């Protein structure tokens, strides 16, 4: 049986001569397609070896086409986020609005004045324009954008410690020596920057006096880290930023405030706990305030640093600044995002804030539309999450379309992901939930069609 199964396998040449694979060869290189065909054939031989059965030629051809589409098609592929998690890390966090995306596309598809002064006709600075925007939004003297907030922390600490030949100590509360995800830990990045970590206080309680007692002639900075992806409750205490700034002034030590996610809006307006705002950090006197661009700011991945000009100048001139500098496409997107805040149009123009501010009645109406058009499910109350390492544990009231499919719930969710326009849902209590809060209004028809597709596939 096994020998005959091996003999039934097609050759690479015969696979390449099939109509579907020939079409791939026309679009891509012959060698690239041949490599995929050989991999599929090798996998088929392993199948024969392990099971004694050979896949059909049609199955192998389909696998070649599927692999080519997966590897050579557009990526990342757009999906509809119906999970109810606004900042879904696995789905790319904050989506950009059309205007911001258009600004990024315009920057990418033509030459620009990225580092060219149009008035003088001479070399300019790529940071000048974004510095002005960051300053205007945050009330700071200057600013700089780098490729993410982890880079902002690393660069800031490296710049401040390298400015001192012997003094390297940076004070941080033991409760703020956190891991923010992906194994990125504040103590580790401090060591990489050349800083000497000085922990004060305890995990749950740190006082002003702990910082005061830790300051020595070797202290170059006080670092405050906002635990943006977890909450410690109960018997806790941390000094306010203003208190740390006062200590810093007395000892001529700058205070660096790492906000993590970062926010420009008072989140209490939406029934959420207050998230520290970058403007407040600047006004409270932090020498440098660090925060992300792709979380609650609602823009592309970036790390923004706002603060006093002398410290921004120090940071921007450090050699590491070039290694973590931001590209023109992202700079364009960040600039367009910040302008939405300057116009006071963030709720309308920035998808993250449009989702967070969406009324319950609007969400309920859309969920009912899905139910009526798809002909399946029930509309029920639920909760949406903020996600993305922002406002941990905070949720918003919502309405969802719940579906109890015939057969496997996991399989139904898989069919949604196989629809012509991919829809990602969440599963709770053996039911599939689809939350309109995180679905763009323009995607409603795609959700309805994906549900119909999943129902059809489930009934086969």
Q: Which CATH number belongs to the domain containing residue 376 in this structure?
A: 3.90.1150.110
> Of 301, 327, 349, which closes a domain?
349
What is the average per-residue pLDDT within 120-146?
A: 95
Q: Cis ω on the peptide bond leading into residue 138 (within 30° of 0)?
A: no
Least confident of 35-44, 231-240, 255-264: 231-240
Burial of 204 (0-12, 13-18, 19+ CB in 10 A): middle
Structural domain boundaries enclosing 429? 80-90+353-458
Residue 167's pLDDT is: 73
Task: Name the β-bridge partners of 330.
Answer: none
* H helix or E strand, kind and range, residue 310: helix 309-316
Task: Specify whether the CB–CB gap between 231 and 393 falls below 8 A.
Answer: yes
From 212, 184, 248, select the one nearest 389 (Cα to Cα). 184
Q: List, in sequence order, every beta strand (DSSP E) within 38-135.
A: 80-81, 116-117, 122-123
Asked if pLDDT for residue 2 goes beyond 70, the answer is no
Residues 273, 160: one domain?
A: yes
d(CA 33, CA 38): 9
Neighbours of 268 (CB within 10 A): 10
Residues 197, 251: one domain?
A: yes
Residues 268, 164: one domain?
A: yes
Residue 12's pLDDT is: 92
Residues 317, 173: one domain?
A: yes
> Of 295, 323, 349, which closes a domain?
349
Q: 342-351 pLDDT, tens per residue?
A: 999 999 999 9
From 339, 176, 313, select the one nearest 244 (Cα to Cα). 176
Residues 102, 66: one domain?
A: no
pLDDT band at 4, cuts 50/70/90?
Answer: confident
What is the average per-residue pLDDT within 305-329?
A: 95
Residues 160, 306: one domain?
A: yes
d(CA 133, CA 144): 10
d(CA 322, CA 232): 37
Residue indicated by tokens 């969400």: 363
pLDDT band at 407, cuts 50/70/90?
Answer: confident
From 227, 261, 220, 255, select the one nearest 241 (Cα to Cα). 255
In total, how many domains does the chain have?
3
Residue 365's pLDDT is: 98
d(CA 190, CA 185): 9
From 245, 229, 235, select the one nearest 289 (Cα to Cα). 245
Residues 237, 121: one domain?
A: yes
Residues 292, 441: one domain?
A: no
Q: 207-238 pLDDT, tens per residue?
A: 889 999 999 999 999 999 987 566 666 667 88
Tokens of 378: 């029930």
What is the average per-residue pLDDT within 361-376?
A: 97
Q: What is the DSSP letter of 184?
A: -
Task: Specify whether the CB–CB gap between 296 and 390 falls below 8 A.
Answer: yes
What is the average per-residue pLDDT within 173-198?
A: 75
The whole model's pTM is what?
Answer: 0.89
Residues 357, 345: one domain?
A: no
Tokens of 84: 């109810």
d(CA 20, CA 307): 58
Residues 365, 434: one domain?
A: yes
Asked if pLDDT for residue 1 goes beyond 60, the answer is no
The dihedral formed by the CA atoms of 403, 406, 408 and 410, expressed in degrees to the nearest 10: -30
Q: Whole-number mean pLDDT of the chain?
A: 91
Q: List, in sequence order, every beta strand (DSSP E) within 335-437.
A: 378-385, 395-403, 423-424, 426-428, 431-434
Tokens of 144: 């700089």
Q: Which CATH number belongs to the domain containing residue 270 in this structure?
A: 3.40.640.10
Residues 288, 139: one domain?
A: yes
Residues 437, 325: one domain?
A: no
Residue 344's pLDDT is: 94
Least confident of 17-21, 224-228, 374-378: 224-228
> Of 349, 372, 402, which closes a domain?
349
């Amino acid at each position: 049986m096994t020998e005959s199964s091996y003999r039934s396998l097609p050759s690479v040449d015969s696979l390449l001569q099939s109509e579907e694979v020939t079409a791939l060869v026309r679009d891509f290189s012959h060698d690239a397609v041949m490599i995929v065909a050989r991999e599929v054939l090798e996998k088929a031989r392993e199948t024969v070896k392990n099971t004694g059965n050979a896949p059909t030629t049609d199955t192998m051809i389909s696998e070649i086409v599927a692999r080519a589409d997966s590897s050579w098609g557009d990526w990342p592929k757009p999906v509809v986020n119906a999970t109810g998690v606004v900042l879904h890390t696995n789905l790319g966090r904050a989506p950009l609005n059309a205007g911001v995306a258009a600004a990024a596309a315009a920057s990418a598809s033509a030459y620009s004045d990225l580092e060219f002064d149009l008035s003088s006709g001479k070399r300019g600075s790529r940071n000048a324009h974004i510095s002005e925007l960051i300053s205007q939004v945050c009330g700071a003297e200057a600013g700089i954008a780098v490729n993410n907030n982890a880079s902002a922390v690393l660069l800031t600490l490296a710049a401040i410690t390298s400015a001192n030949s012997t003094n390297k100590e940076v004070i941080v509360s033991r409760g703020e020596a956190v891991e923010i995800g992906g194994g990125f830990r504040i103590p580790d990045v401090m060591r990489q920057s050349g800083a000497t970590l000085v922990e004060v206080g305890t995990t749950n309680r740190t006082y002003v006096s702990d910082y005061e007692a830790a300051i020595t002639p070797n202290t170059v900075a006080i670092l405050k880290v906002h635990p943006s992806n977890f909450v410690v409750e109960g018997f806790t205490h941390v000094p306010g930023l203003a208190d740390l700034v006062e200590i810093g002034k007395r000892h001529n030590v700058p205070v660096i405030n790492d906000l993590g996610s970062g926010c420009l809006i008072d989140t209490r307006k939406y029934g959420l706990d207050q998230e520290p705002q970058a403007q407040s950090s600047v006004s409270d006197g932090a020498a440098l305030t660090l925060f992300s661009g792709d979380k609650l700011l609602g823009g592309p991945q970036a790390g923004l640093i706002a603060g006093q000009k002398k410290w921004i100048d120090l940071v921007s001139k450090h050699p590491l600044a070039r290694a973590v500098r931001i590209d023109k496409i992202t700079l364009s997107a960040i600039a367009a995002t910040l302008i939405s805040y300057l116009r006071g149009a963030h709720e309308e123009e920035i998808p993250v804030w449009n989702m967070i501010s969406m009324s319950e009645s609007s969400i309920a109406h859309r969920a009912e539309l899905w139910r009526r058009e798809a002909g399946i499910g029930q509309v029920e109350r639920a909760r949406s999450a903020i996600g993305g390492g922002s406002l941990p544990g905070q949720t918003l009231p919502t309405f969802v379309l719940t579906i109890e499919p015939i057969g496997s719930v996991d399989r139904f969710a898989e069919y949604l992901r196989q629809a012509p326009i991919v829809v990602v849902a969440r599963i709770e209590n053996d039911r599939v939930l689809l939350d309109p809060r995180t679905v763009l209004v323009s995607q409603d028809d795609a959700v309805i069609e994906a549900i119909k597709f999943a129902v059809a596939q489930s009934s086969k």
